[in-house]
A and B are shown apart, each in its own frame.
Chain A
Amino acid sequence: DIQMTQSPSSLSASVGDRVTITCRASRSISSYLNWYQQKPGKAPNLLIYAASSLQSGVPSRFSGSGSGTDFTLTISSLQPDDFATYYCQQSYSSYTFGQGTKLEIK
């Protein structure tokens, strides 16, 4: 199984901040990495697929990068709607998710 580890597990930030969340795979997954945003009581929402492709309708302040084992999700300027939990997910071998990063208001 491929394990996905996100860091940090939680993060406090302010509106307007630039935020980066990291996801590390236990072995190389090429670019088979997706990012989701989940708000309380809601289903996850796809933000980024194939490591760096922005899903249609997702604001351009979200971006993804990386390949192999190390990936990042960056929010260039936090907006109030962005406070949520973020998950990475690999699709190189079966499908596994990271444990999540909870982004809270400072």
Chain B
Amino acid sequence: QVQLQESGPGLVKPSETLSLTCSVSGGSISNYYWSWIRQPPGKGLEWIGYIYDSGTTKYNPSLESRVTISVDTSKTQLSLKLRSVTAADTAVYYCATLVGPTDHFDFWGQGTLVTVSS
């Protein structure tokens, strides 16, 4: 069974870049679509984007200009970079597998809270 573990700084300053890593175990990183999803405190879920085949990406149009998702197959990790953050980017960030053909989010990490504040 695939297991996912997010990690990264819990505090980021406004206008800086949020960088997170998701470590993958129990499955090949080449066999899945990998997604990032976030959830502001007390609010709902927002899909950020996905990557598959180690390089093909698709992003939420509302975040596309600021987001980069990548995969390091040698380290079995995926990463998220979100540039020019504001307080509105404060959220719990999850990585998850996206399973077709009906595209549901199957395995999830436990999530990591990132607060944007000076």
Contacts and interface: CB of A to CB of B under 8 A. Distances in A.
Interface of A: 1, 31-32, 34, 36, 42-46, 49-50, 53, 87, 89, 91, 94-100
B44 A99 contact: yes
Contact of A31 (B47, B99, B102): B102
Q: Give the secondary structure class of A's interface.
A: loop
Given A44-B45, A97-B46, A91 B109 contact: no
Contacts, number: 55
B44 A49 contact: no
Interface residues of B, number: 20
A34 B46 CA distance: 14
A32 B102 contact: yes
Contact of A89 (B94, B99, B105, B109): B105
A43 B108 contact: yes
A4 B106 CA distance: 20
Contacts of A87: 44-45
Contacts of B46: 97
A53 B102 CA distance: 11
Interface string B65-109: 000000000000000000000000000001010010011111011
